[in-house]
Amino acid sequence: MKKKEKMITLPCDCKCCMFVIDKTIWDDGDISYNISVQDSRYDHKYNTVWGRLKRAGKVLFGKSIYYNDVYIEGEERYKKLVSDMAELINF
């Protein structure tokens, strides 16, 4: 069972994906981090039923699904991400 959980999210400036870092502290004292890029794919029109089925089929057969990188515009946003990540270590 989970004891505590905290999350940092950083949406891409073009709003097509999001950089997510989760920190979980478990009841037994273990700590885990999950870092992911969550992709909406709105910019590529993959949000239809057929597009989702095609991507699910690729995963089922072990093929790669390519995601966007997270574009961070401006140094202040990057500094805030690094600061939030440092704060997450001390959580």
Any idea what DSSP says for residue 43? G
∠62-68-69 over CA atoms, to 5°? Answer: 120
pLDDT tens-digit series, residues 14-26: 777 788 888 888 8
Query: Which pLDDT does position 87 carry in this prediction?
Result: 93
Q: Is the pTM of this model over 0.75?
A: no
Dump pLDDT digits (tens) for 48-87.
778 778 878 887 888 766 655 566 777 888 889 999 999 9
Burial of 30 (0-12, 13-18, 19+ CB in 10 A): exposed
Q: Is 75 helix (H, G, I), strand (E, B) or coil?
A: helix
Question: End-to-end CA distance of the chain, in Å?
Answer: 18
Distances (CA, A) of 21 to 35, 49, 54: 4, 28, 27
